Amino acid sequence: MAAVHHALALAKRGLSVFPCLPRKKEPATSRGFKDATRDGALIRSWWACNPDFNIAVATGRPSGVFVVDVDDAEAELARLEAEHNRLPPSVEVVTAKGRHIYFCLPAQIEVRSSTNKLAHHIDIRGDGGYALLPPSIHPSGRPYAWSVDSTDRFADPPEWLLNLVVANEVKGAAPPGEWRAIATAGATEGHRNHSLTRLAGHLLRHGIDPLVTRELLLSWSTTHCHPPLPEKEVVRTVDSICTRELARRTSR
């Protein structure tokens, strides 16, 4: 099947695609991932110019997915899964040196592209990023391919993964009433980690001492989460957000 047919099929699945140069990762359009589209006529016109163009997907909000890019780092990924939990089966692409694992991007969550943030040699492709898709050819000459372990749907990311990669918890400033609702109504299973992450970031950004923040959220988890989160998980999450906040302050 010609590359253009693959690009059109991907666009029909909701992915915004654009061409990259043959056997390269560099975009073939002037604005790169900002030109990504699901418009069939535009896609056909691109590949009519060169049927050998690679196919790239604009990750993040344009396509509603983000990618965990495991670059020869299976041991690091295994360590993360042992510490938290196994990643659910999802769409996977085999690359020249590893694999790309795709996940749905939850509504209102912003996941930005990052390098080595999750772990050494494990990058995130989200807003502001892109990834090549089969049957693109890597500069080494090896083709990208769908993994034999790949599913036919994009899985929802586990809470622990979102906690580690989330950039801004919610687009735009949350109104005071929303913070009061989280603090007083609490959170049920499936929403606890996200609410904890938001509260920790909110308190730390407003200058609350990290130890005070930790103790407040341990109490909040015990009294307002249904069921309460494990103490170790609360401490780990608050410490992670604290490290990120300190890095943000020192980079100013």
Mean pLDDT on 145-155: 92
Q: Which position has the higher pLDDT, 48 or 201?
A: 48
> Taking Cα atoms as reference points, which of 193, 190, 184 lies closest to residue 166?
193
Q: Give per-residue pLDDT as tens, 97-134.
A: 999 999 999 877 889 888 877 888 899 999 999 999 99
The owner of tokens 């991907």 is 10
CB burial of residue 124 (10 Å; 0-12, 13-18, 19+): buried
Domains of the chain by residue range: 3-157, 176-250
> Is residue 42 a contact partner of residue 91, using CB atoms and an 8 Å limit?
no
Whether the Cβ atoms of residue 94 and residue 144 lie closer than 8 Å to each other: yes
| 248 compared with 36, residue with greater pLDDT | 36
- 179 three-state secondary structure: helix
Express each pLDDT in 182-192 by its tens digit. 888 887 766 78
Do 163 and 117 contact (CB within 8 A), yes or no? Answer: no
Greatest extent of the chain over all pairs of C-alpha atoms, in Å: 62
Question: Which tokens belong to 124?
Answer: 């995130």
What does the pLDDT average to over 15-26? 96
Q: Residue 115 in 3-state DSSP?
A: strand
Could you tell me the pLDDT band of residue 195, with boundaries at 50, 70 and 90? confident
